[in-house]
Chains A and B, each alone.
Chain A
Amino acid sequence: MSAILTAENLFHQVSTSEGPLTLLNNISLEVARGESLAVTGASGSGKSTLLGLLAGLDRPSAGKIWLAGDEINAMDEEQRAAVRARCVGFVFQTFQLLPGLTALENVMLPSELRGERGAAKRAEDFLARVGLEPRLRHYPRQLSGGEQQRVAIARAFASFSSEDAILFADEPTGSLDAGNGAKIIDLLFKLNGESNTTLILVTHEQRLAQRCTSHLHMAAGAVESYAPLSDGDSLSEVSA
């Protein structure tokens, strides 16, 4: 099985008024196409930083990252943005919908940013798949938390323009109650399975981590445990 995402010896440091602060320390991982990886760990363990680096939102201080065949650590911001536009989707804990745009316009945005035609049709399809067909013209403030996260999921799936699609989810149930959280997770895995996308998920919830094919646990910026998918494992069995 070919790796869609590989990280080698990642280090990340930031400078603070008290001197340099190491956020990530020597992290290596490999994620196969169609795999789902859960990243867990306590607050401040470096989960979100790792997610940002893997998605190309920032560059590591040292180490290498290959995302869909591109070595993104060597790229500048514009080049990394182009990679993101092609094969990265995001679901955030706080939904991050643009409040001035309707549900439909929020989902249209990624296609519009790529300058694609038929953005509205594509967005309508995705919103129908997350069950929000009747709410297309509603603004985020007119939607419940669960509905907003469904719009965000639709937007994330609308973000891909290539087969090499990776969905990054940063605590997607963190702002939702248990009932809504479960529904969102079901939806996320269902769409992930249907679209054959790769899922990288940051979460605190063990129950959610257990649904993923592989699991990386972090502490103080380093990998505490890593259970990658072995060659013999079947993705469909694990994610079902």
Chain B
Amino acid sequence: MLPLRLLLRDWRGGELALIASALILAVTCVTAIAHFTDRLTRAMEQQSLTFLAAERVLRSSKPVDSDWLEEANRRGLEQGQIIQFSSMVSANDQFQFVSVKAVDKGYPLVGQLEIRTTVDGPTEVAPQGPPPGEAWVESRLLPLMEIQLGDNLALGDTQLAVTALLEREPDRGTSLFDMGARVFANTADLPAAGVIQPGSRVRYRYLFAGDDQALKEYFDWLKPQLTEHQRVLNLSEGQPRVASALDRAESFLFLAASLAVLLASVAVGLAARRYGLRHGAYVAVMKSLGAGRNKILGIYLGQLAALTLIATAIGLTLGTFIQAQAVNLMQGFFPVQPPATSWSPLLIGFATGLACALGFALPPLFRLARTDPMQTLRHDWSNPDKREWLGLVLGPSAMLLLVWWLSGNLLMTLALFVGMMLLVAGSALVNRLLVRGKLASLGGAWRIALGSLQRRAAFNTLLIAAFGTGLLAMLALVFARTALIDEWHMQLPEKAPNHFLLNIAPHDVPAMENMLAQGQVSSTEFYPMVRGRLVAINGTSIKEKKNRPGGVRRELNLSYTNTLAPDNRILEGEWWDKASEGVSVEVELAAQLELSLGDQLRFSIGGLEMEAPVASFRSLDWNSMRPNFYMLFAPGTIDDLPATYITSFYLPPEDKLLVNDLVRAFPSVSVIELDKIIQRIRDTINQVSFAIESVMALMLIAGVLVLIAGVRASIAERLQEAAIIRTLGGRRRLLLKSLIVEFGLLGFAAGLLAAIGAEATLAVLSQWVFKLPLVLHPALWLTGPLTGAALVGTAGTLACYSSVSQPPLKVLRELA
């Protein structure tokens, strides 16, 4: 029990406070972030699954074999069913083409339906779809059909009572099936309605939920039996945009947690180093009193184990508490109730405490055990150690493993460490340049500051690296966050078109343009659309091509225009201002088809065949919510063929009834309403952005605390020097200025290195992890050094302020 007794005595003496507080800080930060990330990720996943209304969906164009559903039942999976089709409904002699979604009692397995049972009433959550005999409709259908809630609606041969208005359905899709207002019905009413006939275009969706393993096994069993008309959807297939946003958010949140670990471990390392140095004298005395190396090692390992356990327990408790408070405070921001905490963040916190202690506190202790007892006679406590490299290897290795484990991403981990290594190497170089420079000629305070930097040259390298790590973490985080969120918002700008109009007859175009203008709605260009199939490339039938992309297996929408849309860019070849004939092909499709400029493409359009050379390759942004085409012809090439027009526009929610006017005025036009799905995506992105901003705030706090811990590691020496200078007549003002200069310079150097490291880290991250385009960040080069100088200058000066403010005699006596 000697280690514990010594631990308690040491603690009372204040020696262990710094190392313990650094450990507590590390564990608290990581536990809080891990809890937060864990709950948030699970909340987001839960919310995202609502896009499918299930955990997995089997989509089919025909009813599936009932054995399949029985098998799912046998495996204990929950099930639901959706039958979706377009149909005409009627009431009061009004007919309307609507999108019918018939659901059974299992729907929805994930997410909620929201309805209103009176026009002005509150929104209610419906656990299931409408019961048999009832229909729930979108509110805009009421004026279109001239009906009230409670009236009947005829769907085929059956009458359904309209009992509720549909406010929100979890799995509102973007498909062309969603033409017209939504009518929710019960699958039990479909046989009587008789609207589904052989040849009807119907989509069946079978919903499944349950235990992950059971789901996996079931679909492993099912997948080989699927035909080409059937597909299994999970989150990433169902909503690729949301899945990729989530993936990136998860990567980012784990990156933040990893950086918190790094920051905290730097604090532990600095504190342990200081502890080791101060204890060198004690160990020498203990050795002279007859304690052998093993005894010393046993004492200090026992102390470290006890300290780690106690600090980790405190950190875990604090982290859990802070996270719970944070989640409570931010309850309103979560669109879904955050799930309860799990054990894994506690495990992560514990592993962090252990890794920090083992990686960073252990080497100084091993070094302590090797203390030469002759030092007690030589009065020399410098304790040089040839095996110092062990500490330099062990700590970063422990962190590497921990970060790898936390992020589950080796690339991201390596990216982080590339930046770190650059930083450590650069620290030595910058430190050398700093002390060899001619800054001392600037005057008294500069001379004292430079002298101080020179005297601690080796330790300053460590300090610059430590400060640099903190700053690197912050800079990389700020810039990675900005890049991520900007990109997401750019993908879905505030007023992205949220309605598409299809099948516009050429003669209706001027009237429709006029109507949109009157409603003060600005639409994208009206594009002619001709349905056609690509049949051959340079005379070779497309059917002979292996791995034909999906885009060319069906009919394509072909168009022609003089104006290149803002989200389109010609990458190779010429646009129609320089070329007069041919077709411009979307670049990814062109790559899949292995096309070259000048290749002859043959199209079959309404039974006629025509050829056109490839004039250019064109990139475009499918996320822009504008009409976009794989094939754009030169004006004059397909103008004579029968075409309909397509356009898209943004309609604010308050002008929603304009859709009714459009449908009434142009009955043949199809309206695709994307506003609800866009709102869902935007909600998710806002939530992810919020999560990142919250983690950022936690990280910044951790960063600042580590900087203070770093400064405190060398405070004793600094206090002593300042006291001596004051004793010799140095003025407070001079000392204060020299402190600001010294820490400002250290911070500037650390910030400069951090900027280099962060730029390299960001480059690696954006290239391979976030898959964003590579960009330089000039702001980083300015922000890094200035933030470093300001932050370290302030923290260092404040931490050392007591040396200037306290009477020198008191400082010298306390430090004696």
Contacts and interface: CB of A to CB of B under 8 A. Distances in A.
B377 interface: yes
A78 B369 CA distance: 12
Interface string A91-128: 01110101111000100011011110000000000000
List of 9 A-B pairs having minimum Cβ-Cβ separation, nearest first: A85-B290, A100-B13, A81-B292, A84-B290, A78-B292, A48-B377, A57-B373, A96-B285, A110-B289
A187 interface: no
Given A57-B374, A81-B291, A100 B12 contact: yes
B290 to A, nearest CB: 3
Given A81-B295, A101-B9, A109 B289 contact: yes
A157 B336 CA distance: 71
Given A77-B293, A81-B292, A82-B292, 10 more contacts: A57-B372, A57-B377, A78-B294, A88-B290, A90-B289, A93-B379, A96-B284, A100-B12, A101-B13, A170-B377
A194 to B, nearest CB: 21
16 contacts: A51-B377, A57-B372, A78-B293, A82-B292, A85-B290, A85-B291, A86-B290, A88-B288, A92-B285, A100-B14, A101-B13, A105-B9, A112-B5, A113-B286, A141-B816, A159-B290
A113 B295 contact: yes
A100 B285 CA distance: 13
Interface in B585-615: none
Interface of B: 2, 5, 9-10, 12-15, 281-282, 284-295, 372-374, 376-379, 814, 816
B378 A84 contact: no
Contacts of B379: 93-94
Given A51-B377, A57-B374, A58-B374, A98 B288 contact: no
Interface residues on A, range: 35 or more
Contacts of A57: 287-288, 372-374, 376-377
A88 B286 CA distance: 12
A181 interface: no
Nearest to A80: B292
A188 to B, nearest CB: 17
Interface in A129-167: 139, 141, 155, 159
B378 A48 contact: yes
A95 to B, nearest CB: 10
Nearest to B377: A48
Contacts of B281: 96
A139 to B, nearest CB: 8
A4 interface: no
A84 B289 contact: yes
A38 interface: no
Contacts of A193: none
A63 interface: no
A113 B2 contact: yes
A84 B295 CA distance: 13
A228 interface: no
B286 A52 contact: no
A218 interface: no
A110 B285 CA distance: 10
Contacts of A115: 2
A164 to B, nearest CB: 13
A24 interface: no
Interface of A: 48-49, 51-52, 55, 57-58, 77-78, 81-86, 88, 90, 92-94, 96, 98-101, 105, 109-110, 112-115, 139, 141, 155, 159, 170
A105 B10 CA distance: 11
A76 to B, nearest CB: 9
B282 A98 contact: yes
Contact of A90 (B9, B288, B816): B288
A198 B123 CA distance: 95
B2 A112 contact: yes
Nearest to B379: A94
A166 to B, nearest CB: 12
Contacts of A85: 289-291
A226 to B, nearest CB: 21
Nearest to B16: A100
Contacts of A83: 290
Nearest to A51: B377
B311 to A, nearest CB: 18
A110 B290 contact: yes
Contacts of A82: 290, 292
A105 B8 CA distance: 12
B12 A114 contact: no
Contacts of A141: 814, 816
A93 B376 CA distance: 9
A106 to B, nearest CB: 9
Interface centre among A92, A94, A139 (most CB of B within 10 A): A92
B10 A100 contact: yes
B289 A52 contact: no
Contact of B376 (A90, A99, A112): A90
Contacts of A90: 288-289, 376
Most chain B CB neighbours (cut-off 10 Å) among A58, A99, A113, A139: A113
Nearest to A161: B290
B19 to A, nearest CB: 13
Contact of B377 (A52, A77, A86): A52
A109 B283 CA distance: 12
A43 to B, nearest CB: 12
Nearest to B10: A100
A85 B378 CA distance: 21
A90 B289 CA distance: 7
Given A96-B281, A96-B285, A112-B2, A77 B292 contact: yes
Given A57-B377, A113-B2, A113-B291, A99 B285 contact: no
A101 B293 CA distance: 21
A100 B292 contact: no
B650 to A, nearest CB: 70
A114 B377 CA distance: 23
Chain A CB within 10 Å — which of B2, B285, B816 has the most? B285
Contacts of B10: 100
Q: Which of B9, B288, B376, B378 has the most CB of A within 10 A?
A: B288
B776 to A, nearest CB: 46
A100 B289 contact: no
Contacts of A114: 290
Contacts of A112: 2, 5
Most chain B CB atoms below 10 A, which of A48, A81, A141, A170:
A81
A220 B295 CA distance: 36
B665 to A, nearest CB: 88
A52 B373 CA distance: 9
Contacts of B9: 100-101, 105
Contacts of A109: 286, 289
A81 B374 CA distance: 13
Nearest to A102: B9
A117 B10 CA distance: 21
Residue among A78, A96, A115 with most chain B CB within 10 A: A96
A152 B295 CA distance: 22
Contacts of A81: 287, 290-293, 295
Nearest to B373: A57
A78 B285 CA distance: 15
A161 to B, nearest CB: 9
A101 B282 CA distance: 11
Nearest to A99: B13
Given A48-B377, A48-B378, A112-B5, A58 B290 contact: no
A57 B283 CA distance: 13
Which of B281, B286, B291, B378 has most chain A Cβ within 10 Å?
B291
